[in-house]
């Protein structure tokens, strides 16, 4: 099994952490997004969408989209449970994860893609042709990402983890969002958000966070 991966991008990291939590091993193939290796003829031969992570199973089956890759592993290796145990917990975790994706991760990606000089003509990821960066989108993203940090802090004042009382895929998505937001989007967790910092230390200390 091969995972086409990039060490700096948030979506591949989501898959790596999930697989580490499940104890799943694989061959890791690094693809340099800044150098546009994901848009090379070689990689487009593997995945015409040009996105990471891309998982290739031993029988040649190809899966992309981090949550779809996670779903596959949750199904074939249910323990430890990361996507819920019953209809309500499954739906709540999925709901919370999407809040984090849409309110947080997409905003951090908008900041980076629309402000990093190397992506002036690659405002969106993947094989979508030339897309000019939109500086206003980066500015909008910064404001919304700070708002997301505050909202998540408020949630974490009431709950131990990002989707309730148990560690789940939502925490993985939130960790990758915040670490990417802190580095690529240059917006670390603001002072005063103590519940978010408490949670971040807790999740970052898990061995999987190093994957």
- Cβ closest to a second copy, residue 64 vs residue 171: 64
Q: Report the C-alpha gap between 38 and 41 in whole angstroms.
A: 9
CA distances to 15, 55, 128, 129, 179 from 183, rounded to whole Å, are 19, 26, 25, 26, 6
- Cβ closest to a second copy, residue 91 vs residue 157: 91
- Cβ closest to a second copy, residue 47 vs residue 209: 47
φ, ψ of residue 109 in degrees (nearest 5): -65, -40
Measured in whole angstroms, how far is the alpha carbon of residue 165 from the centre of its chain? 21
| Per-position x/- string for 67-106, each x denoting binding to a second copy as judged by CB under 8 A, each - no binding | xxx-xx--xx---------xxx-xxx-xx--xx---x---
**How many residues bind a second copy, per CB under 8 A?**
35
- Cβ closest to a second copy, residue 103 vs residue 160: 103
Least Å from the CB of residue 186 to a second copy? 21
Least Å from the CB of residue 76 to a second copy? 5
| Per-position x/- string for 123-142, each x denoting binding to a second copy as judged by CB under 8 A, each - no binding | xx---xx-xx-x-xx--x--
One-character DSSP codes across 17-38: HHHHHHT---EEEE--TTTTGG
Q: Which residues contact 82 (CB under 8 A, 6 or more apart)?
A: 18, 21, 22, 70, 74, 167, 168, 169, 172
φ, ψ of residue 115 in degrees (nearest 5): -130, -25
Least Å from the CB of residue 87 to a second copy? 4
Closest-CA residue to 109 (of 179, 40, 41, 189): 179
Residue with tokens 């089956």: 61
| Interactions with a second copy, residue window 9-68 (CB under 8 A) | 49, 61, 63-65, 67-68
Least Å from the CB of residue 207 to a second copy? 25
Binding site for a second copy (CB under 8 A): 49, 61, 63-65, 67-69, 71-72, 75-76, 86-88, 90-92, 94-95, 98-99, 103, 123-124, 128-129, 131-132, 134, 136-137, 140, 144, 147
């Amino acid at each position: 099994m091969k995972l086409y991966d990039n060490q700096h991008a948030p979506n591949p990291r989501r898959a790596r952490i999930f697989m580490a939590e499940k104890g799943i091993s694989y061959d890791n193939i690094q693809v340099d997004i800044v150098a546009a290796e994901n848009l090379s003829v070689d990689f487009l031969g593997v995945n015409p969408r040009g996105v990471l992570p891309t998982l290739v199973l031993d029988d040649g089956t190809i899966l992309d989209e981090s949550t779809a890759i996670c779903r596959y592993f949750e199904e074939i290796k249910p323990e430890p449970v990361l996507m819920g145990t019953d209809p309500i917990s499954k739906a709540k975790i999925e709901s919370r994860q999407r809040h984090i994706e849409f309110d947080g991760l997409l905003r951090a990606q908008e900041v980076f893609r629309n402000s990093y000089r190397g992506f002036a003509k690659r405002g969106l990821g993947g094989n979508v042709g030339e897309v000019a960066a939109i500086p206003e989108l980066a500015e909008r993203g910064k404001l919304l990402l700070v708002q997301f940090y505050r909202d998540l802090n408020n949630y974490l004042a009431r709950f131990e983890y990002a989707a309730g009382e148990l560690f789940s895929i939502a925490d993985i998505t939130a960790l990758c969002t915040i670490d990417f937001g802190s580095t690529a989007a240059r917006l670390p967790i603001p002072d005063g958000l103590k519940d978010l910092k408490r949670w971040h230390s807790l999740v970052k200390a898990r061995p999987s966070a190093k994957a």
